A and B are shown apart, each in its own frame.
Chain A
Amino acid sequence: MQRRLHGFTLDRRRLLLASGAVGLAPVSRIAAQATPDAEVMDELVIDLSGPPDHLTPALTYSVRDWSILHSIYDSLLDFGPEGDLVPLAAEEFSTDDAMTFRVRLREGMTFHDGSPVTTSAITRSVRHIQDAESQISDLYSVITEVREIDDLNAEIVTSEPSPWLPAQIAVWGVLFPESATDESLATAPVGSGPYIFESWEAGSAITLRRNPDYFADSPKGTALAERVVFRFVPEAATRVADLATGAAHIIAEVPADQIDAVESSGHVALSAPILGTAFVRIATGVEPFDDPRVNRALNHAVDVQAIADALVGEGANRLASVFPDPRGLGFDESLEPFTYDPDRARELLAEAGFEDGFDAEFEMVAGSRSDVVESIVAYFGDVGVRVSIVSSELAAFNQGWPDDSAPPLRYATWRPFYDPQSFLGLVIHRDGFLSRYENPVAAELIDDGSVAPSAEERAAIYHELGRELQENPAAIYLWNLVSTYGVNRDVTGWRPRGDEYIIPVRPPVAEGA
């Protein structure tokens, strides 16, 4: 099926086959023009919940950092509103066998330093990730070669079928010019995206200005403002006050309790389901978590839906396993989540020999959702599991993923989840870089899923994996993520994205929308 979309030819079937999202994602129809009333504001201020340590693309792991990164850079591909992959810097992106990915770049694109975007940027991007000590380097190691056929045409070649690769490229594979150095990547990024990096006030703000040469029909969207300031405001109440007083135009992470405060100040609270999953990771290599009955008991012990309703907000639903959303591959609607059943939890604990419960440690990122963690811990207490909470700084928390001496329980969220391979390969596979889950059956299913040629086959394998993850839980499965933003009433055309990035652009209007 060849479709012609705003001037470029896209082999959508092949592209979606590669992304693994086919069959589950409704096809988004992107109109050629941005909204007609596209006026550009002078300045737009966005409050994020914290500052990045650096902006090195390979070492960036959080949504709030990706918001800045993807405002400055473009990848070859981007996620459309329904989880489908759309070509961004690429004009065409296709594959027949998920081993050779043909790329044709858009003509006439330039980096912010004036140099043209050519296929050498693809090579640089792949090398940057392969050479960095990045969580994603392992996944990128399947790329054996980038064949630069000419300035605009290239082939990305992998050593084994890698249908999940395009979704990773959309997140990580940003293009940067030859002039970039390790230093400039970390602190003064130069990309080809809708905004040009201007300045960075350590700990407080990053300022960008509009890229006047950015292509008008970008599926990412067109710039909302001449100048954008990302500010870092850790307290949600302060972000809400910033919105109310006009000091910020878009604010991230509005807690459910403060939606009324946003609306009563005359502004707009926008909630959107994110393709992401919340969970309490269980390290199954240590006692008593080496007994699956204990881990099933913990899943029964927590009234996940009650916490979701009270603390997360509308649209957050208890998950049956790690797969969060029908828009992403692997979600199985027929698989029922664990029930909240403290009696069953006590029974399972007694069967496992822990009728008096046990003591354990539970790690969380300092300053993150302590209410969620405290609530889960209180439910554990009801079935006799006594848990003490350890707060760690984000960097220490991230280093602690594979650490055998770290607390066996940790609250975490993971997104984007368009293609589950990065999560499954890193966190669930027993050999994963971040894994403490010992399950050879799951590992084999993940291996099979990563090379299965069709999305249907992959989905079937992941459904089986979902059932295995219920039988032998790798986590306490919580809910699909829902993010709420506060938006100034005068800002028109901005929309939440499924990957939760806050990119200050006006995305193209979907046809029929």
Chain B
Amino acid sequence: MAEQPLALAPVVESTPPAPRRVRTIRRPIPGRGAVRLIPLALLLALGFLVPVMLPQSPSAQDLSARLTPPVWFGGSWEHPLGTDGLGRDLLARIAIGARSSLIVSAVAATGAALIGVIAGIAAGMIGGIVDRAITMLVETLLAVPFITIGLMITATIGQSMTSLLILLIATGWITHARILRLQARSLIHAGFVEAARSYGASRTWIALRHIAPNLAPAAIVVLFQQMGSMLLWSASLTYLGIGLPIDHVTLGGIVREGQELIYTAWWVSVFGGLSIALAVAGFNLCADWLRHRLDPTLR
């Protein structure tokens, strides 16, 4: 999985305060505040409120109403975003697709974070053969293209939610592991860790009480960035036909269906694509907001 560029949350105790000039440059970033949470809030509303409010079922077909355009292009409020090739309501499908995409990316990103954090701390703190083994595994996985791993997993265990989650977790933990390993390595020589060690604290106690809390800000920021990229990846895989089976309503699936209809019903893939863009922007802006909230040098 491609890694996102990431500004790391610094170690709380060991980082000197950033120069004042840098802080004044960062301060005027537009929309720095909670405004950045609006796209994610919209997405959550789309995924969890719209399906409850809409009378239309996302799977109810009406072949006599197929390819109805959106309301602003000659359609009606019955189908505000129009209908797809089987006359199913596009808004209802996008809402359900957004919900399933949100759940998939949240579960996969959390799973990847758990594995990545443990692997990163273990590699950074224990060092030696454990570090070399984890580093080698990370580098090997980085060398294999994501799509190749996707094809291998799909060919072995077939198309399903499980195989998609396995793929996303198996490739997603690497990002956490690499970043947290470096941070953990720098922390083990920090004064407060040395102090804890000097009064006889065990390695586990140090990991849980000193290292992990200091890594939490970085892990949380990476987690949210990964939700965005995992949503994009799962949509891409489904678009390519190796993600979720076609009877799961997904944003990638909606774009794929719309592609065949692009000359006659542009709205299917356009609205499907826009909702993916909204989701990815939502997660990235949220990660950005969290980074500013959690990083004392950026406050």
Contacts and interface: CB of A to CB of B under 8 A. Distances in A.
A374 B63 contact: no
Contacts of A257: 67, 85, 260-261, 263-265
B241 A378 contact: no
Interface stretch (A63-71, A184-192, A285-293, A304-312): A304-312
Interface string A327-354: 0000000000000000000000000000
A261 interface: yes
B66 A370 contact: no
A390 B264 contact: no
Interface residues of A, number: 30
Main SS of the interface on chain B?
A: loop
B263 A367 contact: no
Contacts of B100: none
Interface string A367-397: 1001101110110010000011111000000
Nearest to A364: B246
B129 to A, nearest CB: 42
B297 interface: no
B191 interface: no
A152 to B, nearest CB: 51
A237 B59 contact: no
B245 interface: yes
B260 A237 contact: yes
A387 B259 CA distance: 25
Nearest to B85: A371
A261 B264 CA distance: 8
Contacts of B260: 235-237, 255, 257
Contacts of A255: 260
Main SS of the interface on chain A?
A: helix
A389 B160 CA distance: 11
Contacts of A374: 61, 86, 246-247
B251 to A, nearest CB: 16
B245 A390 contact: yes
A316 interface: no
A309 B87 CA distance: 13
Contacts of B158: 390
A306 B65 CA distance: 12
Interface of B: 59-61, 63-64, 66-67, 85-86, 158-159, 241, 245-247, 257, 259-265
Interface of A: 235-237, 240, 255, 257-258, 260-261, 303, 306-307, 309-311, 366-367, 370-371, 373-375, 377-378, 381, 387-391
Given A387-B247, A391-B246, 12 more contacts: A235-B259, A237-B259, A237-B263, A255-B260, A260-B264, A311-B63, A371-B85, A375-B61, A377-B247, A378-B60, A389-B247, A390-B245
